[in-house]
Structures are given as structure tokens and as C-alpha cells.
Amino acid sequence: MDLTTKYMGLTLRTPLIASASPLNRELATLRALEDHGAGAVVLPSIFEEEILAERREIELRIDELPASGFAEAQTYFPAHTAQSLGPERYLDLVRRARDAIDIPVIASLNGMTRAGWIDYARSLEQAGASAIELNIYFIPADLAMSGRDVEQRYLDILAAVRAAVELPIAVKLSPYFSAMGAMARALAAGGADALVLFNRFYQPDIDTVALRLSLDLELSTPSEIRLSLLWIAILYGRVAASLAATTGVESANDAFKYLLAGADAVMTTSSLLRHGVAHMRSLVEGLSTLLAAREVGSIEQIRGRMSQQNVKDPTQFERANYVRMLQEYEHEPHRRRGGG
């Protein structure tokens, strides 16, 4: 079975990618993921805040040095940064991951402004990352900010990273745009080689007894697949960027759905956290089995088969389907009771 796929110019031997999470911080995990058939790995994010904190610390230390202290600084900083600061260790992780495995190592840069930290992307490139996944995690809680401002912020950050590196860039973005399609096109025009759909926003809950916010992180379930599935199906063949799916992949069948919708690559984190790294093998083998059952020899033959462009009735992805769903629900009372 030919599971190879092209993703933002990289050739992946399988479309399954272990998405960013602390799991991928360990070299042993990265090696195991490669052994189990992952097409690529995304390292956990390095955060804008970590990069800025390091810079501030260095500036403070420069202020402490005597005016003639440059030579002293040469010995002072490297030892300090290598031991204790996030960004240096992250670069080291990129280098070690690069040496440890042959599949692409995608570094994840996570931020929400374009000031003071973007040049770190160049360090990721020099450290040997195969690509950068730019996670723009931004909640526009400033009510004076317009939709246009939010869009521009994404585009400005992308433009700054684009100017800094030659590497392929994937943008992992939020689903909360009023015109997702236009935004996807603008990002592609602004230099995104891939879009990762979607960032899963972690909203706080309220603990009603202690009256405080609870920030526990819940793993995804397959029922959350539909938002990304919808937009991948709509965008397939209509934006000049690769599409990666993230959220809700628990089984090979979920990955298969994303490919049918039009994904070039399919990512998973929750399933690996839940079942262990070896689960990657069951996803890869399960995908081969599903393709074989349909008598197709490669992913190319099924990719996008269920995209909006390729289904018989494209309105199924739009309002007409919503109206139909509501009407059918009324006519099928057994569903209301949760029966089959």
C-alpha cells in the first residue's frame, strides 16, 4: 500500500503525524513514533513568552556587567542559558531529534504578537528543523478589536516569520473567523505552505464549589472531528496550501475520513496520550486495511473524494444540509431517544 503523501513540500511516508504535545519531547518517543510508522513529528511548542522571558533575563544581566565586560559575557551566558532557559534547550531538542530520526521534525512556534521573538524562527531553521508550525493562539478579549484587526494580526505574524526563514511554514489556526475561506486564502497568499485545522481552544470551566476557574485539559473525542472535517472538505482544492487535520483522531477510520475530506496529513495527540505511542502503528496499519478494502493502492486515489468539490451535492456542506438535518431529526423520533 502506498501511503506516501506530500505535505507542504515534504514527502511523508505516511500521512499520520504525531502533533505537538509533551510526548514528543523525549527522543525515545520520537524514535518509537518513527518505528511505528509516523510520517512526521511536531515538537511541543516553544512559546513567545519563554523566548521573551529569556531575552529579558539576558538584558538584565547585560545591565549588571561592567562596561568592558564583553569577554566576560562570552563565558557567562552560554553556561547559564544551556542549563536553565527554555529556548536554548528547545534548539538542542531540535538538533537531537534531527539526529535521532529520519522522518521530518517540525518545530512548533507558539505566539500571538510579532514583536521581539520572531527571529528565533531562524535559530530553529539553523538547528535543523524540517519545517515550522506556527501556532497563533490568540483570544481577542479586547472588545475594541475588530475582525479585520484579528485577521491582520495573523497575517503580520506570518509575514514576519516568512521573512525570517526559508523553511516551509504551517499555520495552526483557530476556527473562529467569520470568513474562514477568505482567511485561509489570505494566509496561503501570505506565505503559509500549510494550514493546520484547527487549534483546539482550551476554555476554562467554573468550579461552583470553590468558585474558581478550573483549567484542566481534557483530551479530545472523535465527535469533535466535524468542525475540522467540514473546513477541510470546503477548502480542499481551493487554497494554495497543504491541509493538515488536527482534532479527534482516535481510530484509523477517523484518519480515513479526514483524507476523504481532502487532508494532506492527519495529526493525532489525544489518541497517543490515551493509548500509548504504539497506537500510531494501529492507525497506520488500519489505514492500509481501509484503503485495501476499497481496492485502492494509494492515498492519492481517495484524497478529497468527499470534499465539497467532489461530492454530488455541494450544498451538503452548507445551510441546506443544516435545514435537512433538523427536519430529518423530527421525522426520526428513535434518534431522539438515543436509539440506533
Tell me the residue ranges of DSSP E strands in the chain: 5-7, 10-12, 16-18, 40-47, 105-111, 131-136, 169-173, 194-197, 205-207, 212-214, 242-245, 265-268
Q: Which of 13, 200, 257, 279 binds ligand FMN (CB under 6 A)?
A: 200
Q: How far is the CB of 195 from ligand FMN (least distance, A)?
A: 13
**Closest to 43 measured CA to CA, from 115, 130, 114:** 130
- Strands 105-111, 242-245: pairing is unpaired
Binding segment (CB under 6 A) for ligand FMN, from list 48-56, 123-131, 269-277, 307-315:
269-277
Tell me: does residue 268 bind ligand FMN (CB under 6 A). yes
Tell me: does residue 29 bind ligand FMN (CB under 6 A). no
Tell me: does residue 44 bind ligand FMN (CB under 6 A). yes
Tell me: does residue 217 bind ligand FMN (CB under 6 A). yes
Q: How far is the CB of 100 from ligand FMN (least distance, A)?
A: 19
Tell me: does residue 108 bind ligand FMN (CB under 6 A). yes
Burial 94-116 (b: 16+ CB within 10 A, else e): beebbeebebbbbbbbbbbebee
Q: Are 108 and 44 in contact (CB under 8 A)?
A: yes
Binding segment (CB under 6 A) for ligand FMN, from list 14-22, 52-60, 153-161, 291-299:
14-22
Tell me: does residue 174 bind ligand FMN (CB under 6 A). no
Q: How far is the CB of 42 from ligand FMN (least distance, A)?
A: 7
Alpha-carbon gap, residue 237 to 177, rounded angstroms: 20
Q: Which of 270, 287, 307, 308 binds ligand FMN (CB under 6 A)?
A: 270
Q: How far is the CB of 137 from ligand FMN (least distance, A)?
A: 7
CA angle 259/94/18 to nearest 5° reads 25
- Strands 16-18, 10-12: pairing is unpaired
Tell me: does residue 24 bind ligand FMN (CB under 6 A). no
Q: With CB under 6 A as the rule, give the number of residues binding ligand FMN.
A: 22
**Closest to 10 measured CA to CA, from 170, 156, 136:** 170
Task: Provide CB contacts within 8 A for 47, sequence distance 6+.
Answer: 86, 110, 111
**Cβ closer to ligand FMN: 19 or 123?**
19
Using N-to-C axis directions, what is the helix angle for 120-127 and 147-164, rounded to 10°? 40
Tell me: does residue 242 bind ligand FMN (CB under 6 A). no
Binding mask 276-315 for ligand FMN (x = CB under 6 A): ----------------------------------------
Binding segment (CB under 6 A) for ligand FMN, from list 56-64, 204-212, 242-250, 323-331:
242-250
Site residues for ligand FMN per CB under 6 A = 19-22, 44-45, 108, 110, 135, 172, 200, 217, 219-220, 246-249, 268-270, 273
